[in-house]
Structure 1
Amino acid sequence: MTSAERPSVSPRTERALRDAMERLFTGRPTRTDGKLTKKNLWREAGVSRATMNRATHVLADWDHRIGHSPARLQDRKQADTITALRQHLLKARKTATASRTKSTQQPPSSPPCTPRTPLSVSRSQASRRPSYLSRSDGDPTRRQPHGDAPHVS
């Protein structure tokens, strides 16, 4: 027997695959999440992946129907919308960049702000510890006891 004469799968298996395909396309799966994938097809039919791959006529019908399914048309419509939005975003970014470039090339209308008081601090002011960090006894190197515990030297 040649491969053209040999049946690809049993009639019972083909019927199971076609029933599973119909359940998936009508949105009434019993064993899967309902996504239109070949993995869900063989799981929904209760056959192995290898068995599904031997059912070439069923897979040809699957490929034909998947190309014209409402889900596929929705995917195409969504992809077209995403493409249009990306082009719109790109155009908006170019416009924003061009307007930003124009505004930086114009001379400023007023002189830049200058501080009224000098920012320099004398060396003695910079080295002085703030009062909230100072120790009460005046010796910053000496450890202070915690709470009411007696201090042992």
Structure 2
Amino acid sequence: MERLLAGRPTCTDGRLVKENLYREAGVSRATMNRAHRILAEWDRRTAATDARTPGEARRDDELQELRAELRHLKRERTQLQGRLDASATVIAALHHDNAALRQQLDTQTGTVVTIGPPRSE
């Protein structure tokens, strides 16, 4: 029991389950089921550890951190997409204005006067 709770199993995967308890002890399941005092202690001690091995606890902590980072990156991506959409709208409006001004310039007719050199006094 101590090896399992310490995260140092020798015969099992280290999960805090009764199957691993009797395998680590080297006894049959029937023998384990007759050891009521040991089972009560096992239940008491695994309830306090949330039935997770140290490796599982590290994995769960890492998953929690990665999920938080993913939420942050999704939020940032959404903000950047909004900025990109706004920029595309502004560019489209400027392109439209530019095309309209070019068309207006092409349709204008007028007299072009050449300005000569300045007069010397």
Provide the TM-score with structure 2 as the length reference. 0.51
Query: Which of 84, 88, 96 is matched with 2:77 structurally?
Result: 96
Residues 34 and 78 of structure 1: is their aligned pair in 2 closer, same or farther, counting only changes over 3 Å?
A: closer
Contact 1:53 1:59 in 2 (8 A): yes
Mean CA deviation greater in 95-104 or 57-66: 57-66
SS at match of 1:108: helix
> Deviation at 1:34?
5.3
Identity of matched residues, %: 35
User: One-letter code of the match for 2:83?
Assistant: K
Measure the CA separation in 1 of the matches of 2:2 and 2:19: 15
Partner of 2:19: 39
Query: Which of 28, 37, 41 is matched with 1:57 structurally?
Result: 37
Unaligned runs of 5+ in 2: 96-121
> Deviation at 1:64?
3.1
The total of aligned residue pairs comes to: 88
Residues 95 and 28 of structure 1: is their aligned pair in 2 closer, same or farther, counting only changes over 3 Å?
A: closer
RMSD: 3.2
Measure the CA separation in 2 of the matches of 1:28 and 1:93: 40
- For residues 59-97 of structure 1, the C-alpha deviation after alignment (integer angstroms, 9 at most, x for no partner) is 12223333349x745533542342233122112111111
Residues 34 and 100 of structure 1: is their aligned pair in 2 closer, same or farther, counting only changes over 3 Å?
A: closer
- For residues 37-73 of structure 1, the C-alpha deviation after alignment (integer angstroms, 9 at most, x for no partner) is 321221233333233233222112223333349x745
Contact 2:22 2:29 in 1 (8 A): yes
Residues 84 and 65 of structure 1: is their aligned pair in 2 closer, same or farther, counting only changes over 3 Å?
A: same
Residues 78 and 50 of structure 1: is their aligned pair in 2 closer, same or farther, counting only changes over 3 Å?
A: same
Unaligned runs of 5+ in 1: 1-20, 112-153
Q: Which structure is higher in helix share?
A: 2
